[in-house]
């Protein structure tokens, strides 16, 4: 069985049910990861866990050291990565608390260091990113969601925005015209870096709110936290069954 790593996002800074074996501080050529790697067992299977925003949720999306995070996981043996991402729902069926497994992504971020292939190269390197998520791992997550009765959207295009502010109504209108079904701030460059490292990478996206202009009134952090609480319970149930099958 390939060694599995889980990257926790907003609402998942720790993993309930994870029996911790050790915490390990990693140093990489690209700086420090978001925090120590947590090694443990979930549902009787070895996993690594890394909170993307730090254990205290203090690192904003545009300041995350994505290169260090993925490098540290790979150097510690990870071959598969399940990333948990909080999103805003653009498509009507992506309602708060629901899960989705995106199959495409559009990158609207800027100024983030987004590749390992930039210095000391013997040749210019390009990666195929036609299908940005690992189809094998996505399919497994889909099957498990069906098996355990979790309502989830099986596909969708993730629009990755810079943050940390939320988007304007006009920006969401633009994303929808571009074909985006959901919006988030942490999907890129994480997915591309995983591909550069040959990691099998898939996302469990949790709808934290309806995107700007798709609901009534302002988007509040109180509402986001409430929706994430119910969504993350579904994530934990999904992982408990998925991890032994990865």
Using only C-alpha atoms, the chain has a radius of gyration, in whole angstroms, of 17
- The predicted structure's pLDDT at residue 9: 63
Asked if 37 and 48 count as a contact pair (C-beta separation under 8 A), the reply is yes
> Which phi and psi (to 5°) does residue 205 adopt?
-95, 130
Residue 129: how many other CB atoms lie within 10 Å: 12
The whole-chain average pLDDT of the chain stands at 92
105 strand-pairing partners: 158
Residues comprising the binding site for substrate?
185, 209-211
The tokens describing 84, both together, are 């948990």
Q: Is 34 exposed, middle or buried (CB count within 10 Å of its CB: 0-12, 13-18, 19+)? A: buried
DSSP-derived letter for residue 131 is S
Q: Is 56 exposed, middle or buried (CB count within 10 Å of its CB: 0-12, 13-18, 19+)? A: exposed
Residue 10: pLDDT band by 50, 70, 90 thresholds? low
CA dihedral for 200, 246, 188, 145, sign (positive or negative): positive
Say which residue the tokens 């995070």 belong to.
Answer: 69
Q: Is 220 helix (H, G, I), strand (E, B) or coil?
A: coil
Of 94, 50, 102, 55, residue with least CA distance to 72: 50
Residues comprising the binding site?
10, 52-53, 185-186, 209-211
Instruction: For 41-67, write each residue's pLDDT tens digit.
Output: 887 888 999 999 998 889 999 999 999
pTM above 0.75, yes or no: yes
138-150 exposure pattern, b = at least 16 Cβ within 10 A, e = fewer: bebbbebbeeeeb
Residue 54: how many other CB atoms lie within 10 Å: 15
| Helices (runs of H) and strands (runs of E) counted in the chain | 5, 11
Distance set, CA 132 to CA 129, 138, 167, 197, 235 (Å): 5, 11, 23, 13, 21
The tokens describing 246, both together, are 């990865």
Show me where the domains of the chain are located.
Answer: 4-245
Instruction: For 152-207, write each residue's pLDDT tens digit.
Output: 999 999 999 999 999 999 999 999 999 999 999 999 999 999 999 999 999 999 99
The tokens describing 210, both together, are 């309806």
Instruction: For 84-143, write each residue's pLDDT tens digit.
Output: 999 999 999 999 999 999 999 999 999 999 999 988 878 888 999 999 999 999 999 999
DSSP-derived letter for residue 149 is T
- The predicted structure's pLDDT at residue 16: 62
Residues comprising the binding site for phosphate?
10, 52-53, 186
CATH number of 4-245: 3.40.50.1580
């Amino acid at each position: 069985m390939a060694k599995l790593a889980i990257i926790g996002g907003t609402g998942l800074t720790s993993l309930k049910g994870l029996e911790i074996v050790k915490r390990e501080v990693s140093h990489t050529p690209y700086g420090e990861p978001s925090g120590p790697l947590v090694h443990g067992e979930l549902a009787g299977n070895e996993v690594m866990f890394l909170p993307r925003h730090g254990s205290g949720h203090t690192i904003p999306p545009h300041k995350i050291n994505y290169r260090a995070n993925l490098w540290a996981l790979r150097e510690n043996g990870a071959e598969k990565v399940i990333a948990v991402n909080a999103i805003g729902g653009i498509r009507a069926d992506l309602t708060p608390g629901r899960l989705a497994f995106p199959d495409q992504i559009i990158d609207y971020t800027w100024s983030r260091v987004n590749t390992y292939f930039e210095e000391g190269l013997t040749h210019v390197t390009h990666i195929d990113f036609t299908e940005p998520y690992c189809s094998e791992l996505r399919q497994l997550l889909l099957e498990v969601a069906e098996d355990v009765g979790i309502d989830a959207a099986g596909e969708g295009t993730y629009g990755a925005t810079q943050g940390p502010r939320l988007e304007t109504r006009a920006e969401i209108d633009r994303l929808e015209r571009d074909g985006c079904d959901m919006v988030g701030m942490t999907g890129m460059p994480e997915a591309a870096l995983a591909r550069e490292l040959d990691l099998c990478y898939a996302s469990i996206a949790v709808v934290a709110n309806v995107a700007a202009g798709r609901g009534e009134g302002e988007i509040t952090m109180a509402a986001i936290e409430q929706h994430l609480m119910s969504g993350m319970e579904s994530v934990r149930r999904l992982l408990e069954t998925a991890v032994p099958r990865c």
